[in-house]
Amino acid sequence: MFLTDNKIFAPFYCVIKVLYDADHASCLEDNNGLQIMVHIGVDTFKIQGINKIHQKVEDRVKKGDLLITTNVNKLIKKTGNSATAIVF
């Protein structure tokens, strides 16, 4: 998908299982064991300060809670697009 907003929200009730140092991705797990990874952009781990994760590992979040903020305009300028992957 392509981001048009600077905010990414939790798609369901879940636990934060993994966060990456560059704040470019997080892994979530629901109560049934379904795991997804939200990965912002391509090679965004190389771009410091563009993303901010708002939780810690093992935090429980509700559907609609703010997970990550980014700067879509800066993302497009640095990478050419705002492609973001949701991996199951």
pLDDT at 45 over 90: no
In Å, what is the CA distance from 55 to each residue of 63, 64, 70, 80, 82? 14, 13, 14, 28, 22
The pLDDT assigned to 42 comes to 86
- pLDDT-derived band at 21 (thresholds 50, 70, 90) equals confident
How far is residue 79's CA from residue 11's CA, in Å, rounded to a whole number? 25
Q: Cβ–Cβ contacts within 10 Å for residue 88, how many?
A: 6
Reported CATH class of domain 7-87: mainly beta
The pLDDT assigned to 11 comes to 94
The pLDDT assigned to 43 comes to 85
pLDDT at 16 over 90: yes
Which H helix or E strand runs over 73? helix 72-79
The pLDDT assigned to 5 comes to 93
In the chain, what are the domain boundaries? 7-87
Q: Are 28 and 14 in contact (CB under 8 A)?
A: yes
Whole-prediction pTM value?
0.88
